[in-house]
Amino acid sequence: MIPTVEQVAAMIDHSLLRPELTTAEVRQGCAVAAERHTASVCVRPGDVELAAALLAGSGVLVGTVVGFPHGSTTTALKVAETRALVAAGADEIDMVLAIGRLRGGETEAVHDDIAAVVAAAQGRCVKVILENAYLSDEQKVTGCRLAERAGAGFVKTSTGFAPGGATLADIRLMRATVSGAVQVKAAGGVRTLDTLLELAAAGATRFGATATAAILDDLAARRRGEPAATPSPVPADAY
């Protein structure tokens, strides 16, 4: 059964992470999120205070990123960044784990890095970005298990800035790896309604997207019995 527009909107983190976005464009993106009633916006760290002010009372959460996009900053810096962003009004934190350390088998260092951010988030949802394009399936499984053990609320496929994004195989693998206490977020290349629905069927419950309006408009049209829309070109950017 095809979901409602409201149900799909409530699974989207509207992405505003491209480095060239102006303040006016961030304001416009927040307005889209508020109008469409998305789960959240995901903004650059420097935009958190603005987004929190713009979205106050809207029901749209303010998400942001830590250690983005490479995950290679020190744990101390990730913790300081998280604390500052929480103070600025962030409701959710999408952190990039230490990719190189995971690939190198330094599992306790990866775990401790995530756990420190979870603690610094003070109860707010932390989504751990694995950046699957750089990982083997075994490393993806290990990263998911470490994220769950460290207290993360989500495991997430990608930043959107790596060579690859969310795939059906990765969503299935991640969903099979973590317990029901942890959700799976698909990000990177989620640009059409069909892609979103396919990934949702595989177990993803949150989606990073820039093409939010197009996805929701397509769904509304289909529910009216109109033919599926031909996707318009969108930037190959984050999410």
Strands 125-129 and 40-43: unpaired
In this prediction, what percent of the chain has a pLDDT beyond 90?
93
As a residue count, the chain comes to: 239
**pLDDT the model gives residue 21:** 98
Radius of gyration of the chain from its Cα atoms, rounded to whole angstroms:
17
Q: What pLDDT, on the 0 to 100 scale, is given for residue 238? A: 46
For 225, residues 6+ apart whose C-beta sits below 8 A from its C-beta are none
What domains appear along the chain, each with residue ranges and CATH number?
5-223 (3.20.20.70)
> Which distant-in-sequence residues (6+ apart) come within 8 Å of 200 by Cβ?
11, 207
Residues 104-142: pLDDT tens digits?
Answer: 999 999 999 999 999 999 999 999 999 999 999 999 999
* DSSP for residue 186: E
Q: Which residue has the higher pLDDT, 228 or 67?
A: 67
Which residue stretches of the chain are H helix?
5-9, 23-36, 48-55, 75-88, 99-103, 107-120, 137-149, 168-177, 193-202, 212-223
pLDDT at residue 89 is higher than 90: yes
Identify the three-state secondary structure at position 126: strand
**pLDDT band, very low/low/confident/very high, at 234 (cuts 50, 70, 90):** very low
Rounded-to-integer distance, Cα 56 and Cα 34, Å: 10
pTM of the entire predicted model: 0.94
Residue-wise pLDDT tens digits, 183-220 = 999 999 999 999 999 999 999 999 999 999 999 999 99
Q: Is 76 helix (H, G, I), strand (E, B) or coil?
A: helix
| Catalytic residue list | 94, 156, 185
- Residue 143 confidence (pLDDT): 98
Q: What is the pLDDT of residue 231?
A: 54
